[in-house]
Amino acid sequence: MTMNSAIARRELLRLGALAGLGAALTPRLAWAVSDPELMPQVRAVIERWVGPGKFPGMIAALGLPGKEPQFIARGSEGFTDADPVTPDSLFRIYSMTKPITGMAAMLLIGEGKLKLDQPLADILPKFAKMQVQVTPDGSITDLKPARTQITIRHLLTHTAGLGYTIIQKGPIKTAMENAGLVAGQISRIPVPGLDRGKAVGSLALFADGLAAMPLVYEPGTQWSYSLALDLMGRVIEVVSGRPFDAFLRERIFEPCGMASTWFQVPKSEAKRLTTNYAVANDVFIPIDKGEDSIYLDKPPFPMGGSGLVSTPRDYDRFLLMLANYGTIDGHRVIDEAAVRLGTSNLLPPGVEGPALMAPKSEFGAGGRVGIGPEAGIYGWAGAAGTVGMVDMRHGIRSGIYVQFMPPNANSLLSDFQHALRTDLMALMETRK
């Protein structure tokens, strides 16, 4: 998925601001969810933002410990799609794929097949002798040998020094795009500012291409949003001996009961796929309709950083498994210690969390880890307006699902966050 650097950086700021959504989800939320009328502001925001000239539809999900999620849904799956939005509508979750890939790696770590501080070159030897740009985003010929080997920890936490075409600028961005080192699908038609270019045709080719590209930063020294979780997909398939998409299906999706989460949406399910919109000056332009979506085609490769389509119900199942520390419906999916580790701070010593995001945070296996008032919150957001988080301390899951790009084109998501906080503050007053 290709955006210019300014848009990408604003997107990271938005992700950080939305982390406050998790901070608000304290145990008091149980009172709110037990009586939906105790969330009048949240409901009002959703209703205010759905309609002609605004959004065709959206849905919020809230889940309490051990209970089925409750949903607030309004509208339809598209302005020309009259089907109502439901918990089983399909959404492009983009970077909400990253926590799933991160936890797939933690599954292998829990089984002893992978080690957190294992050098990447043990698995993918072409990464043994990496070069680093002397000036980040500067010349791609003025390079120096990397002092440190990339490790699995670095990949999980965006500290490997790898680039990202939605973040980098200058020669490195151009070189990556020309080499097909892009991830994320947008539309069958070119969309100015969002068009990503053509990706290479397999995870193996993707990994080999990244190994031949300079690093932007010395491994283990800086958090920088990157293609690391996409590369992790190749690591997982080499270690497991299974294609990455098959591994996710067999080891996570099927055990969790996630029957509607795919890299390629079956044509028989296209009717459930929402429309994605580009938004400019409050004008909604359909760029990917469910009936002829690019997600109906087989992707160039299964993109572990941004490639999945899922439903609010399915993603809540993933969050529920995490909230239960690796079990769901009495079945263990991931080792408990591995879940606890993956949802905790995995940043290398001395490295701060996402510098462009507020409030300050740490980082775990493919997802943001809250600190202070947000301690226990783990999750991430997607480039088309989806957010999924779990409060590991209190077992509470949350999500919002809508489809528009860029997701900072209007104030919807900040309005939602503010409304939830307002409702919870009012609720606390009534419970004193």
How far CA 166 is from CA of 124, 194, 303, in Å, comes to: 25, 9, 15
Residues 6+ apart with CB under 8 A from 243: 237, 302
What is the distance between the alpha carbons of residues 160 and 162, in angstroms, rounded to a whole number? 6
Closest CA to 397 of 323, 309, 314: 323
pLDDT at 34 over 50: no
Distance CA 347, CA 363 (A): 6
Q: What is the pLDDT of residues 342-372, one digit of tens each?
A: 999 999 999 999 866 567 899 999 999 999 9
Residue among 75, 5, 14, 6 nearest 383 (CA):
14
The answer on pLDDT for 30 being more than 50 is no
pLDDT at residue 28 greater than cutoff 60: no
For tokens 């309005």, the residue is: 415
C-alpha–C-alpha distance, residues 56 and 81, integer Å: 9
Q: Are 382 and 92 in contact (CB under 8 A)?
A: yes
Position 4 pLDDT exceeds 50: no
Q: Report the candidate in 85, 67, 58 with the shortest Cα–Cα distance to residue 29.
A: 67
- Pinpoint the residues of the chain covered by CATH 1.20.58: 116-240
Reported as a single tens digit per residue, the pLDDT across 241-282 is 999 999 999 999 999 999 999 999 999 999 999 999 999 888
What is d(CA 171, CA 173) in angstroms, rounded to the nearest whole number?
5
HEC letters along the chain = CCCCHHHHHHHHHHHHHHHHHHHHCCCCHHHHHHCHHHCHHHHHHHHHHECCCCECEEEEEEECCCCCCEEEEEEEEECCEEEECCCCCEEECHHHHHHHHHHHHHHHHHCCCCCCCCEHHHCCHHHCCCEEECCCCCCCCCEEECCCCCEHHHHHCCCCCCCCCCCCCCHHHHHHHHCCCCCCCCCCCCCCCCCCCCCCCCHHHHHHHHHCCCECCCCCCCCCCCCHHHHHHHHHHHHHCCCHHHHHHHHHHHHHCCCCCECCCCHHHHHHECCEEEEECCEEEEEECHHHCHHHCCCCCCCCCCCCEECHHHHHHHHHHHHCCCEECCEECCCHHHHHHHCCCCCCCCCCCCCCCCCCEEECCCCEEECHHHCCEEEEECCCCCEEEEECCCCEEEEEECCEECCCCCCHHHHHHHHHHHHHHHHHHHCC
CA 3 – CA 421 distance, rounded (Å): 31
The token pair at 63 is 């889940």
pLDDT tier for residue 423 given thresholds of 50, 70 and 90: low
At what angle are helices 203-211 and 228-240 packed, to 10 degrees?
A: 120
Considering the domain 5-101+243-430 in this protein, what is its CATH number?
A: 3.40.710.10
Least Cα distance to 206 among 166, 243, 234 occurs for 234
Which structure tokens are listed for 61? Answer: 């999900």
Pairing of strands 404-405, 276-280: parallel
Higher pLDDT pick, 40 / 242: 242
Strand ranges of the sheet holding 361-363, from the earlier edge strand across to the other edge: 81-84, 70-78, 57-63, 396-401, 387-391, 377-381, 368-370, 361-363
Which amino acid is present at 343? Answer: T
pLDDT of residue 20: 45
How far, in Å, CA of 36 to CA of 42, rounded? Answer: 10
pLDDT tens for residues 129-143? 999 999 999 999 999
Query: Is the separation of the CB atoms in 191 and 384 below 8 Å?
Result: no
Are the CB atoms for 339 and 326 separated by under 8 Å? yes
Tens digit of each residue's pLDDT (9 = 90 or more) over 177-202: 999 999 899 999 887 777 778 899 99
Residue ranges matching CATH 3.40.710.10 in the chain: 5-101+243-430
- Rounded to an integer, what distance in angstroms lies between the CA atom of residue 423 and that of residue 432? 15
User: Does residue 431 have a pLDDT over 60?
Assistant: no
**Token couple for 431:** 């419970």
In this predicted structure, the answer to whether residue 1 has a pLDDT above a threshold of 50 is: no
Correct CATH for 116-240 of 1.10.1790, 1.10.10, 1.20.58, 1.10.3470: 1.20.58
Give me the percent of the chain exceeding a pLDDT of 90.
72
- Given this model, what pLDDT does residue 425 score? 59
Between residues 428 and 150, which one has the greater pLDDT? 150
